[in-house]
């Protein structure tokens, strides 16, 4: 069935007061959590208030929930915290543990987005080793995996700013947003858990960014940020600089789901997440605003491991 666009007027702001709300995760219990630079994560209460939990330092970026109910945080560093580790937040006590802070003896500086598979392993993107020059097309992004016993290893590399990740329903492929590449790549997950070679999933999604663009020009920018599957197999992708969210259908067609030309409401959308009893409550991280956005999704999201 065709994927109906979401009217911009139907969006509502929630979690007012968040700092750098890159991402949202919704637990099986219905509680809504957002990444928050002022803490580690903040619970967005039903009355709209915030309950800040923990101290992660740096810049909590992509978040997800593991099978034990803890929130896995990819920390992008920034500011006075040059390191960018993978962390875990205990939402009841506020304790923040480091799950991985180095690969092959090299300190991580830009962990970006984590996703948990059905085995409990955590896959995480690392955007670049050089944040200052990342927009120059460096192909130094990679994906690493942390197993339940703590073993960490690089699984694939050579990405132009590795960003959001997704797993399809059968966990047959890992999907990787390349922000500078302006597309999504997918890699087959072999039976032994290794990854096969990448292939483009859908087309390049827009033009390279340039300074002082008009809203009309920005609307063509293709920098990808976050991604996630709905239950019908559409891969939703945020085009962060274009203030646009698109979906790549199973037929590889690209459909615009949401667009805010001026960025007045949805400015720099970074991630999409689903929750609610019917998995049709859609939450959108907006990194240049102090809130996240909520809307009703035309189709349910694909349940993540912690929601099954």
Band the pLDDT of 39: cuts 50, 70, 90.
Answer: very high
Q: Has residue 88 got a pLDDT over 70?
A: yes
What is the dihedral sign for C-alpha 132, 137, 139, 141? positive
Residue 42 corresponds to which tokens in the numbers above? 């903040």
Q: Which residues contact 308 (CB under 8 A, 6 or more apart)?
A: none
By the 8 A CB rule, do 279 and 303 touch? Answer: yes
Q: Measured in whole angstroms, how far is the alpha carbon of residue 77 from the centre of its chain?
A: 16
Q: Measured in whole angstroms, how far is the alpha carbon of residue 64 from the centre of its chain?
A: 9
Q: What is the mean pLDDT of residues 216-242?
A: 98
What SS3 state is found at 146? strand
By the 8 A CB rule, do 113 and 167 touch? Answer: no
**Given the structure tokens 């959001």, which residue do they identify?**
164
Q: Has residue 135 got a pLDDT over 90?
A: no
Band the pLDDT of 273: cuts 50, 70, 90.
Answer: very high
pLDDT value of residue 58: 94
Q: Has residue 79 got a pLDDT over 70?
A: no
Phi-psi region for residue 178, left (φ > 0), alpha (ψ -120 to 50) or beta?
A: beta
SS (H, E, C) 195-224: ECCCEECCCCCCECCCCCCCHHHHCCECCE
pLDDT tens per residue, range 15-30 = 999 999 999 999 999 9
- Contacts within 8 Å (CB) and 24+ apart, 43-50: 43/91, 44/14, 44/15, 44/292, 48/14, 48/15, 48/16, 50/15, 50/17, 50/18
Q: Has residue 164 got a pLDDT over 80?
A: yes
pLDDT value of residue 2: 77
For a pLDDT cut of 90, what percent of the chain falls above it?
93
Q: Mean pLDDT in the chain?
A: 96
Band the pLDDT of 48: cuts 50, 70, 90.
Answer: confident
Phi-psi region for residue 82, left (φ > 0), alpha (ψ -120 to 50) or beta?
A: alpha
Q: Has residue 80 got a pLDDT over 70?
A: no
Q: Which domains does the chain have, with CATH numbers?
A: 10-307 (2.120.10.30)
Q: What is the mean pLDDT of residues 270-284?
A: 98
Q: Which residues contact 130 (CB under 8 A, 6 or more apart)?
A: 138, 140
The rounded distance, in Å, linking the Cα atoms of 266 and 252 is 25
Q: Measured in whole angstroms, how far is the alpha carbon of residue 120 from the centre of its chain?
A: 18
Phi-psi region for residue 218, left (φ > 0), alpha (ψ -120 to 50) or beta?
A: alpha
Could you tell me which residues are beta bridge partners of residue 71?
A: 65, 89
pLDDT tens per residue, range 236-271 = 999 999 999 999 999 999 999 999 999 999 999 999
pLDDT value of residue 117: 98
């Amino acid at each position: 069935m065709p994927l109906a666009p979401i009217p911009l007027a139907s969006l509502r702001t929630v979690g007012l007061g968040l700092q750098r709300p890159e991402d949202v995760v919704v637990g099986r219990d219905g509680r809504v959590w957002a990444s928050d630079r002022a803490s580690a994560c903040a619970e967005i209460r039903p009355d709209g208030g915030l309950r800040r939990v923990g101290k992660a330092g740096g810049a909590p970026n992509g978040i997800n929930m593991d099978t034990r109910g803890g929130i896995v945080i990819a920390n992008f560093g920034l500011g006075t915290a040059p390191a960018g580790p993978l962390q875990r937040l205990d939402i009841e006590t506020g304790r923040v543990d480091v799950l991985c802070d180095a690969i092959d003896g090299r300190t991580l500086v830009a962990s970006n987005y984590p996703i948990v598979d059905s085995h409990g392993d955590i896959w995480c993107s690392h955007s670049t080793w050089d944040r200052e020059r990342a927009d120059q097309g460096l192909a130094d992004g990679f994906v690493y995996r942390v197993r339940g016993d703590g073993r960490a290893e690089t699984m694939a590399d050579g990405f132009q700013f590795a960003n959001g990740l997704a797993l399809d329903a059968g966990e047959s492929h890992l999907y990787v947003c390349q922000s500078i590449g302006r597309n999504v790549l997918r890699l087959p997950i072999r039976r032994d858990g290794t990854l096969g070679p990448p292939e483009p999933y859908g087309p390049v999604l827009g033009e390279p960014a340039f300074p002082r663009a008009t809203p009309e020009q920005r609307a063509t920018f293709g920098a990808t940020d976050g991604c996630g599957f709905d239950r019908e197999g559409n891969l939703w992708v945020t085009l962060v600089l274009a203030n646009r969210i698109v979906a790549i259908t199973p037929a590889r067609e690209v459909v615009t789901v949401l667009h805010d030309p001026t960025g007045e409401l949805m400015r720099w959308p970074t991630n999409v997440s689903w929750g609610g009893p019917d998995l049709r409550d859609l939450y959108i991280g907006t990194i240049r605003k102090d809130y996240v956005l909520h809307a009703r999704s035309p189709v349910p999201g694909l349940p993540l491991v912690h929601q099954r």
